[in-house]
Structure 1
Amino acid sequence: MRDGLLPAALKGLREGALRVDAATPASRDRAVDALRAFAILGVVLGHWLVTALVADGGALHAASPLQHMPWLAPISWVFQTLAVFFLVGGQVATRSHASARARGTSYGRWLRGRLSRLFRPVIAVVVLWTVAATALLLLDAPLDTVRTLVKLALSPLWFLLVFAVLTAATPLVARLNPLWPLAVVLHVDLLRFGLGGAPSWLGWVNLAAGWLVPYTLGAAWTRGELDGRRAGLMLFAGGAAATAALVAWAGYPASMVGVPGEPVSNLNPPTLAAVTFGLAQCGLALLLRDRLRRALRRPLAWAAVAVVNLSAMTIFLWHQTALMATTAVGLPAGRLPGLHTVPDDLAWVVARLGWLPVFALALAVCWTAFRSHEQGIRRAAPRPSRVIRRHRPRRSASKAARGA
C-alpha cells in the first residue's frame, strides 16, 4: 500500500497543477508573477544567509557574515531583489488602475482594494510580536535582545509603507519618466557624499525617489515602452557599468545590503549605487520575460509560481520570525554552529546552508497558521443557489458534469 502512496501523491499534484493552469486566464502575463515570486524568495534567502543572531551569554545580538567576510558581498548582488519587486509592483498597479478607471471604479475604492491586500496580513505579525515582546520583558529578558528581535521581525514593514505610498501615487507617477527620480537620487548623493555638510535627514528623500525609479519603469512596461530587447539590454548594461564605476571609483560599498558597523549602507536609505544596481536587475528581468513565459507553459512550474504569489505577503512578513523561532528553539542545546555562533569564517557559511531547510520548515508552520490573513482577502466565487440548480434543465446539468 505504501508503494502506491507516492504515485498517487504525484498524480494528485499533477492534476492540481492542471486545474490551476486551466483556471488561469489566457491574457495573464505569467512572467510578471514569476518575477514577483523570484523577488520575494530572493529577499527571504538573502536575509537567511546574511542575518545571524549570536548568543552572547544570556543575550542575542545581530551580526552579519558580510561584516567579517566582505569578499562575500556578491551574495547581496544575487539576493537583494527589491528593485524587481517594485518594477512588477509598478506594472501591476498601473495596469490595475487603468482597468479600474475603464470600469468606472473610483480611485478611493481602487486604492482601498490594493492596500487591503498589503496590510491585512500585517495585523497578525504586529499583534503576535507585541504579545511576544511584552512577555519577554515580563520574564526579564535583556532589553537589547528584545529590541534586536522586534527590529528584525518588523523590519519588512518599511518596505510595505514605501510600496503603499507609491501605490497611492500611481495616478500621478504612472507617466513620470524614470530619469526624474534618478536625478533626485543623484543630487541627494552629491550633497551627502560629494559636497558634505548636508543634514542627515536628506538621505531619506531617496527612500521614495530611489524606489520610484523601478516603479515608474514598471509603469513604462505597462505602456509598452519596454517591450523590445533593446530596452532591457540598455538598462542591464548601463546599470551594471554605473554600479561598477560607483563602487570602484566613488567609494560606494560593494554590498547591496546594510552591513553592521559600516558608516554607509547602500540600502538604508538607498544610494545612487543601489538604484543603478536596481536598473541592472530590472534590465535582466525584462530580458528574461520571454523565457519565463515559455517555461511557465508547464502546469507544474506555473502552479508553483501561483502558490508563492498567493502567499507572497505571508512569506515576506514571517520569514524573519521563522529564523528567530528556530534560533530560540535551538538555544537550550547550546551554541549551535551557523545558528548562534559568530559568522566569521567559511565553516559558519557551510553550517548556515544546512539550517536553510529548517528555516523553511519553520516558515511553512507560520504559513499554515497565518495564510488565511492574506488569502482570506480573496472572495470565493458565489455558489449557485439551490433554486437555480433545481430549475436548471437536466440536459445542461449532464453536459456540465461531462465537461467537469
Structure 2
Amino acid sequence: MRRAAVRIDAATPPQRDRAVDALRALAILGVVLGHWLVTALVADGGTLRAASPLGPMPWLAPVSWMFQTLAVFFMVGGHVATRSLASARARGGSYGAWLRTRLARLFVPVAAVLAVWTVAAVGLLLGGASFVTVHTVVKLALSPLWFLLVFAVLTAATPLLVRLNPLWPLAVVLHVDLVRFGLGGPSWLGWVNVVAGWLVPYTVGAAWTRGELERPRAGRLLLAGGAVATALLVGWAGYPASMVGVPGAAVSNLNPPTLAAVTFGLAQCGLALLLRDRLRRAMRGPLAWAAVALVNLSAMTVFLWHQTAMMVTTATGLFAGHLPGLHTVPDGLDWVAARLLWLPVFAVVLGVCWGAFHGCENSGGRRGRKSEGRSRVVRVGGRPKPSGSRETRHV
C-alpha cells in the first residue's frame, strides 16, 4: 500500500491544488456519514418507515452541523467548473464538448442506480412488500439524485456564473424566505431556493477561481458572518437548529434550503477556505494523498450507493429480528451507541457496491476524456506503460 501511495504521489502533477481534492473528499464523506447517522428505517409491523433521531433528541442537532457539508461540495464544484471551463477555452475547446464531458461524469453512473432500483421496486411489490415500505426505500435510495439535477443545472450555466457575485443569489434566498415566513406567502415559493440557495456556494467557488478569496480575511469574514447570521436566524427568527430535514417537522432547513441553511453553508465555506493551507501540507504525505485521490476517483459511486448500502444492511438484518440501532425507534442514547457500531457494516456493504458499480463511474470518465483531450490526471497503477497505451484516471 505504501509503495502504491508513493507511485500515486509521484504521478500527481506538481501544479495540482491538493486542497481542492481534500475538501471534495471531506464533503462527500460528511454527507455519507451524516445520512448514516441521522436516517433510520424503523420496522413497524410489516412495513419500514423513515425516522430520525433528531426528532426525539433535538439536542443532537450539532451532528447535522458537522456532517451537512453540501455547501462545501458546491463551492468546490463551482471552483473546479469555472477553472475547467477557462482551461478548455484556453485549449480552443468548445462549450458543448466541455459540458458533455462534465455531465457524462455525473450521469453515466446514475443509469446503474436507476436500473437496479427499478428492478428492486418491482420485485418488492410482486413479493408482497407494502407500498409504504417500497416508497420509503426507493425515496431514500434515489434522494441523492436531486443533488445531481441541481448540480447539472449550475454546471450548464457556468459561463453565465463566472462573474456573478454571491450576494445576488443570497438576496433571492432572503426575499423568498421573507415572503414565505414573514408575509405568509405560498410554501411552493421555497423551491426557488433549490437553485438559488446552492448557487450561493457555487458562485463562492467561482470567486475563488477569480482569486478574490486568497487572503485569510475572506475566509474569516465568511465564517464569522455566516455563523452570526445563522445563530440569529435560529435563536431569534425561529429557524430550526437542525441543518437537515427532520420527519414531522413543520419547517426543513434543507428541503427546500432556507436562509439559515445558506448562511450556515457560507460559514462552512469560510472554514474550508481557512483550512486550505493546512490541507495542502497534510496532502504532502503519500498515504493521505492516495486516500484522498481514491475517494475522488469513486466520489460518484460512494455518493449514489451509500443509502443503498444502509438499506441492504437493514433489510438483511430483518432475518435476525429487530436489531437495535438498525430497526428500532431512534429515541435514546442506546440507539445512538448501537448505530455507531453499525457504521463499519454499512462501510463494508458500500465497498461491495463500489466493487460492483465503480466501473460505471470510470466509464463516464473515459467517455468524457475522449472529447476533452488532455487534462490534469493522476496515473494509478504500477510501472508506466509505453506512450499511447498509458492508462490514466481522473481525480
Give your verdict on TM over 0.5. Answer: yes
Any residues of structure 2 matched to 1:310-321 within 5 Å, and which?
Answer: 310-321=297-308
Name structure 2 gaps, 5 residues minimum: 370-378, 380-384, 390-395
Matched, 1:269 2:276: no
Name 2:43's counterpart in structure 1.
55
Q: Deviations over 1:349-399 (max 9, x none)?
A: 00000000000000000000000000223349995479xxxxxxxxxxxxx
Distance 1:41 1:385, change over 3 A: closer
Cα distance, 1:332 vs. partner?
Answer: 1.0
Matched, 1:21 2:9: yes
Q: Deviations over 1:59-85 (max 9, x none)?
A: 100000001101100000000000000
Residues paired across the two proteins, number:
373
Counterpart pick for 2:27 among 28, 36, 39 = 39
Name 1:199's counterpart in structure 2.
186
Name 1:154's counterpart in structure 2.
142
Q: TM-score, normalised by structure 1?
A: 0.91
Q: Distance in 2 between matches of 1:79 and 1:377?
A: 28
Following superposition, which runs of at least 4 residues in structure 1 exceed 6 angstroms of deviation? none
Q: TM-score, normalised by structure 2?
A: 0.93
Q: Deviations over 1:152-173 (max 9, x none)?
A: 0000000000000000000001
Q: Distance in 2 between matches of 1:62 and 1:132?
A: 18
2:104–2:365: 8 Å Cα contact kept in structure 1? no
Q: Deviations over 1:290-314 (max 9, x none)?
A: 0000000000000000000000000
SS in 2 for 1:53: strand
Q: Distance in 2 between matches of 1:33 and 1:325?
A: 29
Matched, 1:64 2:52: yes
Q: Deviations over 1:209-232 (max 9, x none)?
A: 000000000000011000000000
Name 1:226's counterpart in structure 2.
213
Q: Deviations over 1:145-198 (max 9, x none)?
A: 0000000000000000000000000000110000000000000000000011x2
Counterpart pick for 1:123 among 111, 117, 120 = 111
Counterpart pick for 2:82 among 83, 94, 97 = 94
Superposition RMSD on alpha carbons, in Å?
1.2
Q: Distance in 2 between matches of 1:108 and 1:199?
A: 38
Counterpart pick for 1:376 among 351, 363, 371 = 363
Q: Distance in 2 between matches of 1:377 and 1:385?
A: 20
2:108–2:363: 8 Å Cα contact kept in structure 1? no
Name 1:164's counterpart in structure 2.
152
Q: Distance in 1 between matches of 2:319 and 2:101?
A: 45
SS in 2 for 1:160: helix
Cα distance, 1:252 vs. partner?
Answer: 0.1
Name 2:92's counterpart in structure 1.
104
Q: Distance in 2 between matches of 1:115 and 1:377?
A: 9
Q: Which amino acid aligns with 2:331?
A: D
Matched, 1:279 2:259: no
Q: Distance in 1 between matches of 2:364 and 2:312?
A: 27
Q: Distance in 2 between matches of 1:139 and 1:223?
A: 55
- Whose RCO is larger (CA < 8 A, sep 6+)? 2
Name 2:319's counterpart in structure 1.
332
Name 1:302's counterpart in structure 2.
289
Matched, 1:177 2:171: no
Instruction: Give the fraction of aligned pairs with identical amino acids, expressed as a percent.
Output: 77
Cα distance, 1:206 vs. partner?
Answer: 0.4
Name 1:396's counterpart in structure 2.
none
Q: Distance in 2 between matches of 1:130 and 1:378?
A: 24
Name structure 1 gaps, 5 residues minimum: 1-12, 387-404
Q: Distance in 2 between matches of 1:166 and 1:385?
A: 35
Q: Which has the higher helix share?
A: 1
